[in-house]
A = this chain, B = another copy of it.
Amino acid sequence: MDDNVRAFPEPTLRRLPAYHRFLKILAARGRPVVSCTHIATELGLDPTQVRKDIQVTGIVGKPRVGYLVPELIDAIETFLGWKNSTDAFLVGVGHLGTALLGYGGFREYGLNIVAAFDKSPEKIGTQVHGREVQSVDSMAELAQRMHILIGILTVPADSAQDLADLLVFGGIRAVWNFTPVKLHLPPAIIVENVQLSASLAVLSNKLAESLKADVPQEG
């Protein structure tokens, strides 16, 4: 571990985009400054937590004044790497893959999907949101040649591990995993899982508990 490498708390990283979104709204309204308390109230958080989160960006607020809105927006964007875009490959042009290819907003967050891959002969060669779908057979070699760092995995569960292995073989360093599969990859590879089934499990369970509370109690 050297001085350059610091692990920032994940909850902090997860909250910063929400701060950024709120700050952009304030900027659009012409607000020059904002306090931790204001951000905390809007987002239902503790002001001390907000102050600590913002500190990781290197920005220090002025007591009784707060932060300059444009300066704080800039600091968060720089800290999260949104100013330098990173090229990514997307693997699996099904419904979800197509949705992600069609979403223009990732570029704002520094993610640039430069190519899309699929196994299916019917899809290879077609255009999806301006990108030609290529065969997964050429993926590893292309990733290597183009120095691609991020792979977005939106394939069916049964081919997730094989295609993740292929991405790693091609030199990618991080996998954004939208499949429900727990990937087994070398420890140096970063894996971030988006688990919709887990999110749905929380929703369903809370709903069931809330409905139980509706039922009048019997003696």
Hey, which chain B residues are within 8 Å of A203, CB to CB? 150, 174, 176, 190, 192
Interface hub of A7, A180, A204 (most chain B Cβ within 10 A) = A204
Hey, which chain B residues are within 8 Å of A205, CB to CB? 8, 13, 79-81
Complex CA–CA separation, A82 to B200 (angstroms): 10
B202 and A14 form a contact (CB under 8 A): yes
Contact status of A13 and B202, CB under 8 A, knowing A5-B209, A95-B99? yes
B110 and A13 form a contact (CB under 8 A): no
Contact status of A207 and B111, CB under 8 A, knowing A13-B201, A18-B180, A95-B99? no
A65 within 8 A of B: no
Interface residues of A in 160-196 (CB under 8 A from B): 173-174, 176, 180-182, 188, 190, 192, 194-196
B17 and A211 form a contact (CB under 8 A): no
B174 and A190 form a contact (CB under 8 A): no
Q: List 28 A-B contacts (CB under 8 A).
A: A4-B215, A5-B209, A6-B209, A13-B202, A16-B201, A17-B195, A18-B180, A18-B195, A21-B180, A21-B181, A44-B182, A81-B204, A81-B207, A95-B102, A95-B103, A96-B103, A98-B99, A110-B204, A173-B210, A174-B203, A174-B210, A176-B203, A188-B210, A190-B203, A190-B206, A190-B207, A192-B203, A194-B194
Interface residues of A (CB under 8 A from B): 2, 4-8, 10, 13-18, 21-22, 42-44, 79-82, 86, 95-96, 98-100, 102-103, 105-106, 109-111, 149-150, 157, 173-174, 176, 180-182, 188, 190, 192, 194-213, 215, 217
